[in-house]
Structures are given as structure tokens and as C-alpha cells.
Amino acid sequence: MKLVFATNNPNKLKEVQALVPSHIQLLSLVDIGCTEDIPETSPTIEGNAIQKAQYIKENYGYDCFADDTGLEVDILNGDPGVFSARYAGEAKDSNANMDKLLNNLKEKKDRKAQFKTVVALHINNKLETFTGICPGTITIKKRGTKGFGYDPIFLPNGYNETFAELPLEEKNNISHRAKAVKKLVAFLNN
């Protein structure tokens, strides 16, 4: 079975490919010739995931799934949330995003946060969504070089290592995206 995963992020592709059974072959956006920026104009994480999956179905005709992720910080009332990618500006620069967040949390004791991923699946003309949440805290400074995005400043609950210090297999056991994708796989297996 071939299924489009609406991403060109090689890190995400690697994470998700490791979670889906081998009979499901994932195609990326490049594989289907989609090189334009897909609109993400919804005010919610769920809305953006749905928008991306619908865009591929409408414009390319493939069944597909898309994900959208946000980092929600309690003391910032859920920010950066749906604005996580552009927190420090349109450049979508992960280092600048982390610097801004660390600065906004300077001297704050409550550093609780959660990653939230919504996966939207468009299949057989039906839409399904799957949500995964990973609770944790924001560190005082960046630690580790693995992963991507906000990984160097996110300490998942129950661990002393940030996502950027943990091996990919470990992140994939507990991450927001893994939880959502495992629900997707269970759905596809039924």
C-alpha cells in the first residue's frame, strides 16, 4: 500500500517511517511532485493538519495524511502553540524560536509544556484525525544535537535527557508524533 505523508521534513519522514509497518510505503511531497508551500492558515493545530491533507487530495488526487505540531507552554497560555514554526518570524528558524522561548521563560519557575501533534488522514473520501500529546518541561538552556525544532529545550516527563539527547528510537517510543502515528497505524490495520 502506498500512502502520501504530506511532508518534506526528512526528520519527520524518518520518525514516521520507523513507526508504520513495512507494507505501507510512504511517499513524500517531493515523490508526488508537490514543491509549493501548502497553505497553513487555520487558527488551530487540528485545522492546519486537515487543511494540508485536503490540499493534497484536492490538488494531487492521492489519499494522504498530514501532521501539524505545536509546543504549548502552560505559563504562556499555550503559546507558541499553532504559531510554533513562526514564533520568532517568517524565517521559521528553530534556533531563533528556541532563543525567544527561553527568553520569554527567563526566571520563570513553572516551565511545564506539552507537544501536541494532530495527524489528519484523508482516505476513501473520509477524513479522520488522531492526536498525540507528550508532556514535559522547558529546560534553562539548549542541550543535545539530535532531532529537530524545539527538541534541544524539551525535557519529556520521566527523563533527564532532552529530545535532542535521546536516541531516535527512544523519542519515537514516547513522542507526541509517535502517539498520533500509532493511532493512525491501528486505524489503517483495521
Active site residues: 68
Alpha helix segments (H runs only) across 61-119: 94-104
Which CB sits closer to ligand IMP, 61 or 112? 112
Identify which of 132, 179, 137, 180 has the alpha carbon closest to the alpha carbon of residue 161: 137
Grid coordinates representing 134 are: 507528550
Which CB sits closer to ligand IMP, 122 or 147? 147
Considering only residues 81 through 100, tell me which ones interact with ligand IMP, judged by CB under 6 A.
84-85, 94, 97
The nearest distance, CB 92 to ligand IMP, in angstroms, is: 6
The nearest distance, CB 59 to ligand IMP, in angstroms, is: 19
| Torsion sign over Cα 16, 17, 22, 26 | positive
Q: Which of 64, 66, 68, 181 binds ligand IMP (CB under 6 A)?
A: 68
Q: Write the binding mask 114 to 153 for ligand IMP: x where contact by CB under 6 A, - elsewhere.
A: ---------------------------------xxxxx--
The nearest distance, CB 190 to ligand IMP, in angstroms, is: 26
Position of minimal CB gap to ligand IMP: 149
The nearest distance, CB 12 to ligand IMP, in angstroms, is: 7
Q: Give the pairing of strands 80-81 and 64-73.
A: antiparallel
Residues 6+ apart with CB under 8 A from 151: 144, 162, 163, 164, 171
Q: Which of 6, 34, 69, 120 binds ligand IMP (CB under 6 A)?
A: 69
Considering only residues 2 through 61, tell me which ones interact with ligand IMP, judged by CB under 6 A.
none
Contact between 54 and 65 under an 8 Å Cβ cutoff? The reply is: no
- CA dist 69 and 113 (Å) reads 13
Cell 507494507: give the residue: 23
| Torsion sign over Cα 133, 69, 46, 76 | positive
Q: Which residue ranges make up the site for ligand IMP (CB under 6 A)?
A: 67-69, 71, 84-85, 94, 97, 147-151, 163, 175, 177
